Amino acid sequence: MVVCRAIRRAHHGSHDRVQKEWFYHRLCTIWLYDFNAPSLSFSRPTGGGPAFGPLISFILAAAELVMAKRPTPDNVADAVVRERKEREYARQLSFFFARERQQGRRWPPSAPG
């Protein structure tokens, strides 16, 4: 579900944007599940400056291998924030569907008559 929402969100832009959203989504998934990272977190200096941290470094290193123009650390941080929001939305939606199932409701609800 998170993948579908990331692609839909990116479709408001160009084809290149869809590929970048997919790229960031996949790298965040690798970060969480293959590297067993506890979260999608990064830091920002208190006095201002670019985002930093292991996740940002990982995504920038991967981007350097496949992108013609390397994204800035802040672009990567923005993509990570979008990904975190989408994952939280999917988590809350799964709670909703679980509650509906527990109460014996089907989704989507059947039309009457």
The predicted-structure confidence for 65-100, as pLDDT tens digits, reads as follows: 999 999 999 999 999 999 999 999 988 888 888 888
Q: What pLDDT digit, counting tens, does each position of 33-73 carry?
A: 999 999 999 999 999 999 999 999 999 999 999 999 999 99
CB-CB contact of 73 with 52 (8 Å): yes
Rounded CA separation 93/88 (Å): 9
Domain boundaries, the chain: 2-42+52-102
Secondary structure E strands in the chain: none
Written as one letter, the residue type at 41 is S
